[in-house]
Every structure is written in structure tokens, then in C-alpha cells.
Amino acid sequence: MDRVVDEVEDTGRAVLGRTLKFLRENAGKTLGQLADECGYDKSYLSRLESGERLSKMAVMEDLDSYYGCGDLLVRHWKVARYDAFKDKYKRYMALEATARLLRVYTPSVPGLLQTEEFAREVLSGPQATIGNAEEIEEQVAARMGRQLVLRKESPLEVRFIIDESALRRPSASAETWKGQLSRIETAAQAPNVVVQVLPFSAGVHHLVGKGSLTLLWQQDGSAVAYAEGHSFGQLMDDPDDVLHHRLSYDRLRDLALSPSDSLAFIRDVLEEHGS
């Protein structure tokens, strides 16, 4: 009688955990010794190895250096971070990671430009509890990992159209908000980034109340559109749908301030906040 064995696909986090354990044991180290030599808590390292936690990328960089294994752990971490996203977002995240051009309209601060402190505040919200604090930290780490697309060797060419309301609604912490505004100001001056502000004076437009819109182009010229609201996310690859949303995005771009005027606007808001 043949035995049927159900194969369970490994998660990226499980693979990363096994790699961490292998490297430690191959180096002849106990968890306690590793903790003493690297400065990380023993229980924290244990949970990384068991796949229960997802660290910040900086932790993997430290351990790569410790073990002398190049960027092995960082590469595994880049795969493992997708486990922090819900399944319906994973395909979009994979496309974003390989995209060549990105066009974003958002009524809030875009995730690709958020500071770690601001992202933590946004992701926590009123639903935060002691029980899900670790989950929030993993989501923050994954969001910070997304921003690698802006700094890779062939960086993503991206244009953000940010609604003025996103710049007028500060975070709970004045220091966090100042840091966030400064982050947007800095990003707006990067050679691969264009930031435009959609001012209140533009009036009501066709995406008011409908959430954000993102357009992505791959190296081969293929494109997708992604629309996201409070409780939905829809990825569209039909050429007619993509064209429709591209024209929608172009109309918003025409209503927005120019990049230079937008930078001046952001600096004015930052100055107002600092005064």
C-alpha cells in the first residue's frame, strides 16, 4: 500500500530560521554564546531560529557579518518578510520589488516614504494590544524592507502624488511628525523620485474617498494597476483596465502642484510645524 505524504511548503520565515540555526551550530555556538557575542537577547535569537519572529534587516546584516557569509541572511530575510503581509497583498509586493517604474496617488503618507516611527504609529492604531505588539513590529520591519526598491543598484523610478490632507494631519508625536516631513522632503530631492502635492485648491476629484491608486511597469513593459482602500485591495492586469487607471492618474497629476512647487509646499509645512 502506497503511503501518501502531504508536503507542506516552507515559508520564507521557516527557511530563514533553519539557516540561522545551521550557521550557529556550524560555528559551534550555543544560543547563549551567540547572545553574549552579538548583543541580542537569547530568547529573541531562539524565536528567530524557530521562525516565530521576523527581525529588522539590520539584525540579519549583523549576523551575516558575524558568520562571514556575505549577504546570505539578508537575502533570506527579503523573502521571509513577505510572510508579514496578507496573502492578497503578496503578489503586489512581489511585483513592486521587480518594477522599473511606479506611479502612486495616495490620500495618506505612502508606505515607501514612511519613517519607522511613523509606520509604527500608523500600524498600531486603536486595535493595538500587548498580544499583537510583535505582529506590529514585524509589519513595521516588512514595510521598511519595501523601501529597499528606492535604494537598489538600479533604483525604482517613482512618482508620488500625495494629497495635501496627508501633510496636514500630524502624528501623535511632534518629533515623529517632524521626522516624517523631513523624510518626504529628502525623498523629493532624490534623482529617482518625484513628489507632487495635490492641494485642497484642486477641489473635488474623481478619486476622493476611493483610496489609493498605484501603477507599476516591469522591465519587459508589462503593467498592472493596484487600487486599495480601507478594506480592499484589487490588482488589475487587463490592458484596458490599466489604461483606464493610467488616464485617471494623469488627470490627478495635471491637478497637482509642480515638483518644485510641491517641494516648497512641503518645506513650508515643515517650517510651520517647527515654529
The CATH number of residue 129's host domain is 3.30.870
250 shares a domain with 135: yes
175 with 103, same domain: the answer is yes
Q: Does residue 38 share a domain with residue 113?
A: no
Of 57, 81, 105, the residue that ends a domain is 81
Flag whether 200 is in a domain.
yes
Q: Are residues 157 and 255 in the same domain?
A: yes
Q: Is residue 98 part of a domain?
A: yes
CB 66 within 8 A of CB 38: yes
Note whether 63 and 109 are same-domain residues.
Answer: no
> Is residue 135, in this structure, part of any structural domain at all?
yes
Judge whether 137 lies within some domain: yes
150, 243: one domain: yes
pLDDT at 217: 96
Query: For residue 4, what pLDDT is reported?
Result: 34
| Same domain for 143 and 18 | no
User: What is the number of structural domains in the chain?
Assistant: 2
pLDDT of res. 72: 92
In a domain, 1, yes or no: no
For residue 4, tell me if it sits in a domain.
Answer: no
Same domain, 110 and 64: no
The pLDDT value recorded for residue 5 is 35
pLDDT score at 127: 53
Q: State whether 161 and 181 are in the same domain.
A: yes
Cα–Cα–Cα angle for 72, 74, 77, nearest 5°? 110
Same domain, 57 and 188: no
243/72 Cα distance (integer angstroms):
40
For residues 34 and 21, what is the distance between their CA atoms, to the nearest angstrom? 11
What domain range includes position 170?
87-274
pTM over 0.85: no
Mark which of 81, 103, 128 sits at the end of a domain.
Answer: 81
In a domain, 141, yes or no: yes
Residue 134 falls inside a structural domain: yes
Domain boundary residue among 81, 113, 140?
81
Both 44 and 29 in one domain: the answer is yes
pLDDT per 10-residue tile (average), the chain, 275 residues = 42 86 91 91 88 84 92 87 70 88 96 94 67 78 87 87 94 93 96 96 85 93 89 86 94 96 96 78
pLDDT of residue 75: 87
Residue 58 shares a structural domain with residue 95: no
Q: What is the pLDDT of residue 7?
A: 37
CATH of the domain at 73: 1.10.260.40
